[in-house]
Amino acid sequence: MPNIFGSIGGPSAGEKVIAELVRRIMGYAVGATKSLVPDTSPRALPVLFDHIFFNYQWVDRVASKVLGAGRPSFMDALRDALRIEMKTAVYSHLEPAQQQRAVTNLDPLLDSFMVEFSRYGTPSWGDSGVAGTLSYEFGKKVANKLGRAEDAFVIAGIASNAAAGLKEIDAPTLLRAIVQ
């Protein structure tokens, strides 16, 4: 695998991909969250974090297939870049020490999300149902936070939006650009 970090004279291909992934992940997460809850809702941040985590989970799966042994260092760099973006975008109103504490406290939440959702697969063409798939189980998690855990239409809408977000972010194409 080519060296994806530390190119001389400018950002490496990996650094460019990370910057683009952060932009896409955050853009999707903010848009999806705003479609579900008002900015002032106490549910806004937990739902936003779940959308960010969902896409991080997906990128991790794609990185495992595309980058192979380069996956761990790439995902660590992506996590660091997301932390910086969240500190700036989500916690800009806090004092610097509070910002850092808030971002650091997200690590256990992300780790828990990664473990929880690692067991779910993606639906295959012709599958008879979506229950137990990554998108559907994510829809259930978010619907529960919205107090709509039993509303199949809300769950399906969130799952569909999440799947559309994966397509929009297009992690496979971005990651393949690194290894070419």
Give the number of other CB atoms < 10 A from CB of residue 84: 12
**Collapsed DSSP state (helix, strand, coil) of residue 6:** coil
Give the C-alpha separation, 179 to 81, whole Å.
20
Tens-place pLDDT, residues 167-179: 999 999 999 988 8
Give the C-alpha separation, 32 to 26, whole Å.
10
Whether this prediction's pTM lies above 0.75 is answered by yes
CB crowding 99-124: b at 16 or more within 10 Å, else e: beeebeebeeebeebeeebeeeeebe
Regions in the chain scoring below 70 on pLDDT: 1-9, 123-131
Tens-place pLDDT, residues 46-71: 999 999 999 999 999 999 999 999 99
